[in-house]
Structures are given as structure tokens and as C-alpha cells.
Amino acid sequence: MSFAAGPDFEALLDYLRRSRGFDFTGYKRTTLLRRVGLRASQVGTQSFSAYLEYLQLNPEEFLTLFNTILINVTEFFRDPDAWDFLAREVLPEIVGRSASDPIRVWSAGCASGEEAYSVAILLGEAMGQNEFLERVKIYATDVDEEALAAARNGYPASALNGLDEKLVDKYFDLQGSLRVFKPRLRVGLIFGRHDLIQDAPISRLDLLLCRNTLMYFTPDSQARVLSRFHYALRDDGYLFLGKAEMLLTHAKLFAPLDLKHRVFTKVKGRPEPRRPPPPVTDVPEADDRTKQREVQVRELANDLAPVAQVTIDAGGRLVAANQVARAIFKIGAGDLGTALKDLGLSSRPVELRPNLAKAAKERRPVAIRSAEHKLGDGSARTLDVEITPILDLNHRSLGATVTFTDVTEFIRLRSELERSRQDIETAYAELQASNEELETTNEELQSTEEELETTNEELQSSNEELETMNEELESTNAELQTINTDLRLRTDEIDRLNVFVESILGSVEVGIAVLDSNLRVAKWNPRAEDLWGVRSTEVLGRSFYELDIGLPVETLRPIVKLVASGESANSIDTVTAINRRGKSIRCRVSMTPLVESAIGGRRGVVLLMEDLAGKSV
């Protein structure tokens, strides 16, 4: 069988999207290939192209295919520990908000609706049924219309076996053989079709449940759906996922409230903090000696600073350069007072003059990140450059300080950290994919187990039916043997009657032709053969009117018709005919109806043909 990914499989997915509106391109290819290939093999096709032709010829197959792809494995309070955490830690906080606030819940990918009803029961228990009716609205959606119909119509008693009997009696009514959610509370739940990949999300949610659904999507599709979930939730809303979904690579959207039970909170966006402009300070007055010491201390401190720093005055001249700057940019004592444009520093590692003009004009620092600078030994360093304008008390520009911070090691460490982070994210993504694949396989196995149990019950039922049919066949066989014996006796009797009739017809000295209800020759005795020169094998089964025997059959047609229809009991007519020797004779033809039964049913006509000359021909 040829069930591999390729153009035939993509053509099949495209046909499903165009003809039925189901877009499976966002689903994991491995799962799709496995599930669609399973169904294609079940109907006996050998490739995806053959299965596409089968779909086109059998529209009813779509429903079975979608049920095979969409593994609707769910139950009430699935993973009880997670539901206990939700009831204990999350729902009381939601219910405890302002009594006037409505509570909006969305169960996305709800399948046959058990989880939507589960959260409805928990909310009903937490706040009482009257308040539930006033405040709660639960939206339950899925792409599978058949599953949604099952959610609306109710469940067999076996589906509620895991529920406490008190809860069953409190929240469900018995209608026929099904258990349905109490109509009074059911108005708070809305079931509808929704495609997580294509359709817009429901908004302003307090709680969003999407359990073991994301694992069927590709990483790109998961990211799009989670982005919509982030938009759909209120800032204080909660996201409740299945045990196969950890969101390890989506920390910017959701933070775990409890990772073990897969309950997350929404990460709120925060604006970047704005850096305030550097304060302008005034140096208090002091005596000249103190001033000189302070100036000397500042100069020494600047000269010994661990980062390169130069000072440019308002005229564009270099007025100061500390020890690190002199070493990096090869600035000598004679360069102080030189116009910046005449120094290599003006263009390496960045163009300083336009940035100095920008800082002076905007009265704020200007930063240039990650500038590359080649040293004399051929090595390269990465520098962050920051130009800070120097302003007087009247905010006039006196010049600027340029600081060069060596971030080479920081860039290297950051690059290594980013690679490590990417490796970790890749490992997390692979772990998540493996976990999702394992959970998908588990659900498929559970679905297969349920199918096998159903098949076993059907086989047992079929076996019982076969045993019953076998007994019926034995009885029928006995009856058939009795009937066969009766038929054999009747056949023997008919054979004797046929011999008797043939003996009579052979002994009669007139020609006899027996016509059936269609006026075809059924009997032709020896005297008729002798009279007309035609053997019985040549006329049996042929229409009487087609016989070319010297008898003017067309002349006899009206009389034959009257006798055959019952309008005449019998009739005798004399006609001129030509016998087998070619001699003209006078032939008397007597016609009598062939009676089928004692009640007068007619089958045909008996014709007696006699040569009036009474001579043998």
C-alpha cells in the first residue's frame, strides 16, 4: 500500500478543504498520515489517490473519515487531580470577583461536551444554581458536528459511571435511554462549531479550557492558536490545558500557575522603561585650592576609569581622553586640542560627528550598540558607544562626553547563552512534541480499545444471530427435504401424465396443435407432422402466426383471438389448405379454449386440424 506523504496526500487535504471546509493543513502530518491511512486501508484502497476517488464517489464516507481523524476521546472530569486543583484554587477566585461581573468560560475542542458540563457542575457547586443562571455563560466549540450533536442530545448511562450518583441526580435528567443536562441549567451552555485555526476567538474570558487539542497541531499552528487564546483571556483569566501540553516555549504569553496540573495565567504586556536624561548638577563655590584638588581628583578618576572615555567641546575639538581611550584609539598628548575631524577617532568605530550633532540638538544621550573596532594587533572588539551632551545651567551645549564600553565578552556570553537557550528550547520543543505524540498515540489506543470492545460485542451478537439462523436453517432444511420429497412425487406423477398425454395425442387421427397464452406452439402431435410436413422440433415455441405450413393462419387469426380471449367457447371453420405433398385440401379446424383450472382460467387454444377427404397424405 502507498500511504506516504506526497502530492497525492496534499491533493486529498486540499479536496477536503474545498469540498467540506475542513482545513487540516495545520495538523501534524505524522498523525494525519496515520489516521487517514488507517481509514483508507479500511475501505480497501491502496493509495491516497485511490481513496480520493473513493471519497468523490461516496460522499457519506466524509463523516467516517472525520470521526477517524478527530479522535474524540474524553470523559467527565478527565484527570481528576487537575480538576480538583481547578475547583480548589481557580474557581473560588473567579467566583469571588464582583457579584455583578458575568463569568465567561470557553471549552475549546470540547468533542462530545463532557468537559464543558464538568466545569458547569463545578461552578454550580461553587456558587449555587441560581447564581449560576445569572452570571455564567459557557461556550463549548468543536469542528466535529457529530460530536456536538452528541453533546446536545445527551449521554448513555455508561458515560456517567465515573460521576457521583448525587451529582448525576442533581444535574442530569433521564430522557428515554439517555441522560441529559437539566434544561434549567442547560441554557447557560452554548454549543457551536468553531475552527481554532481559522475562526476568531471568543473574548473577555475568565477561564479557557483546551485539553489535549493543541497536541494535534503543528508548532506554527499552536503558536497562532495560543496567540488568539492570549487575546481572548482577560488579564486575570486562566488557561486550563491537557497533560500533554506544557507551553515550555510560550513563556512570553502564559506563565504556569501549576505546571503539574497544566493551569496557566496570562502574561500581561509591560512597556519598556524610559531612561531619564542625565541630571545637570551645579558645582558649589569653594576656594581655589579646594577647586584645584577637586579638579585633579576628577581628572585622575576619569583617567583611571575602566572604560574608554573622551570629551569633545562645542567647537568639535578633543579636549580630554582617559588612559583606556588613549590606548585603544592611539591618542597622544599632542592630539588634545585637535579638531575631531582630523582624528581617526571621528570615524572609527562609528561616525561621531553626526551623532554629536544629534545629541547637542536633542539635548539627550545618543547610544550606538555593538560597533566593531579593529585593534592594531588585528583583533576585533565590540564597543557600545554612548554620547552624552554636556549642558550649562541655561541648557546650552558645552560639548559632549563619549564613552566606549567594551562588550565583546558580554556579546560572546550572550551569544553562547542564546545558543544554549535555543538548544534548550529545541530540546523542550522535541520533548513537548514527543509528549504530545505519546498522548496522541495513547488516545488512539484508547479509541481503538473502545472500537475493539464494540466490535467484540457486535461479534458476540452476530454469533448469537448466526446460531439462531443456523437453527432456523436446519428447520428450513427439514422443510425443504419434505417439500423435495413432495416435488419428486409430483414430478413422477407429471411424467406419467405427460406420457399419458403424448400417448393420447399420438393415437388421435387428426392433427393437434396446442397454443399457450401467447399463442406459441406448446404441443404438435405426429398427425400434424404428417399433415403439414413439419416436425414438432421445428415449431415448438414459435408463434402460430409465424408458421409457414400451408394452413392459412391469417384467415384463422380473428377466430383464434376470440377463443383465446374467452369471447367464444369453441369454433369450427373449414379452410382451403396445402398439405405437405403440395396438394390442395379442405381442412376443418376446430378451436377450443385451453382451460387452466376448474374455475375457468384460460391458458391458450387447442386446434384440431382434419383433412375432410379422410385420406392419408
Q: Is the pLDDT of residue 137 over 50?
A: yes
**Alpha-carbon gap, residue 142 to 108, rounded angstroms:** 6
Phi, psi at 311, each rounded to 5°: -125, 130
- β-bridge pairing 103-108 and 205-210: parallel
Q: Last residue of a domain, which of 390, 406, 422?
A: 406
What pLDDT is recorded for position 597? 55
How open is the CA angle 439-444-448, to the nearest 5 degrees? 145
Cell of 415: 551569544
Residues 247-298: tens digit of each pLDDT: 767 778 999 999 888 999 998 864 333 334 444 444 444 455 555 565 556 5
154 and 94 part of one domain: yes
Query: What CATH code is carried by the domain that includes residue 354?
Result: 3.30.450.20
Is 311 found in the same domain as 203?
no
| pLDDT, averaged across the chain | 83
Q: What is the DSSP letter of 275?
A: P
Q: Is 276 among the domain residues?
A: no
Q: Is residue 423 part of a domain?
A: no
Rounded CA separation 311/459 (Å): 93
Tens of pLDDT, residue by residue over 306-322, are 788 888 888 888 888 88
Q: Is residue 432 domain-resident?
A: no
Whether the predicted pLDDT of 36 surpasses 90: no
Q: pLDDT tier at 60 (50, 70, 90 boundaries)?
A: confident
All three cell numbers of 585, joined, read: 385440401
Range of the domain at 131: 80-266
pTM: 0.50
Q: Is there a domain that residue 179 lies in?
A: yes
In a domain, 427, yes or no: no
Q: Look at the chain and report how many structural domains it folds into.
A: 4
Of residues 364 and 71, which shows the higher confidence score?
A: 364
pLDDT value at residue 284: 45
Considering the domain architecture, whether residues 136 and 30 belong to the same structural domain is answered as: no
233/265 Cα distance (integer angstroms)? 9
Q: How much is the pLDDT for 281? A: 40
Report pLDDT digits (tens) over 202-236: 999 999 999 888 888 888 888 899 999 999 999 99
pLDDT tens per residue across span 227-236? 999 999 999 9
Q: What is the 3-state secondary structure (H, E, C) of 285-341?
A: CCCHHHHHHHHHHHHHHHHCCCCEEEEEECCCEEEEECHHHHHHHCCCHHHCCCEHH
Domain membership flag for residue 279: no
Q: Helix, strand or coil for residue 495?
A: helix
Q: Identify whether 491 is part of a domain.
A: no
Is the per-residue pLDDT at 616 higher than 50? no
CB atoms within 10 A of CB 463: 10
